[in-house]
Amino acid sequence: MKKQALLTILPLVSALPGVLVGCMVMRLNHISAPFQNIAALLLGGLISCLCLSGPHRAKPKAEKGYTAILVCAGALCCTFLNSGIDGVHRWIRLGSLSLNAAFIFVPIALGGIDQLFKLGRQRTAYVSASLIGAILFLQPDASMVTALAMTMTSALWYDRKNRALQRTAFAILLALAAVSWFRLESPEPVSHVEGILSLSKASGWELWLASLLSLLILFCPFVAGLRRESSRPFCAGNILFYAGLLAAVCTGLFPVPLLGSGASPILGYLISSTYAVRQLKACER
């Protein structure tokens, strides 16, 4: 019972250090407190705990998979409805609030793709991943295309039946990722978003070390999910997904998940980690 309770709060606890350290770094550098980060953590964490407190059914459903993928594709396409920033279209604007669509909706799509894989609908899963990769390429978002390509490499280990199909999809995503880095386009970096790690380093080695540790803690829910066979493909894919996003951070052109100012990475992380823990809890009942 105690183990189940710890799993219930695992996504929130894993996200908490990154948000707190990021807020501390911004405060020390006289940057206004990112209330959207705190609000996203509290609201997303509450919803996560409620989802993980309810009944857990391991049986996948195709309807949920298709819905998640369509919602993601639709949301990513909505980013082209506004003028973007310097020709880059990654945001959905809700009044004064701008949400990075990929950070929120790609994790939702990955859950949908996982549902389809479990139902043996690999063809649809691979086509969906390629479609989402193409939209991300058009935005353009090199970090997300690369992270998605890395995520799908887990299928090379766990899907033994559709070699030609999986290699085709992986080759498409890999090509999109490679070309996106050659035509790299990104708005001017912001110190408290893309440059938050540099700010933490300038604030002292203790905060820099705390920043790095908080980013490592993000992998905890997915590492826990590797223990069970049914949740292993999704969790392995998400480990690669966040590793790809963090690798792209080294360029200084892309947001640092959870540390930097912005609600979208926090909400997206809580979505993916909650899904991972939910699958794990369903297996352990």
Q: Give the tens place of pLDDT for each residue, 168-207.
A: 888 999 999 999 998 887 778 888 888 999 999 988 889 9
Tell me how far apart the alpha carbons of residues 178 and 161 are, in angstroms, rounded to a whole number: 27
What is the pLDDT, as a whole number, of residue 248? Answer: 93
Contact between 196 and 260 (Cβ < 8 Å):
yes
- Name the token pair of 278: 């939910």
- Name the token pair of 275: 């899904």
Contact between 267 and 101 (Cβ < 8 Å):
no
Contact between 16 and 266 (Cβ < 8 Å):
no
pTM for this model (two decimals): 0.94
Residue 209 has pLDDT above 90, yes or no: yes
CA angle 178, 184, 188 (to 5 degrees): 150
- The alpha carbon dihedral of 272, 224, 44, 12 has a sign of negative
Residue partners of 229: CB distance under 8 A and separation at least 6:
none
- Name the token pair of 55: 């009944």
Q: Return the domain boundaries, the chain.
A: 2-284
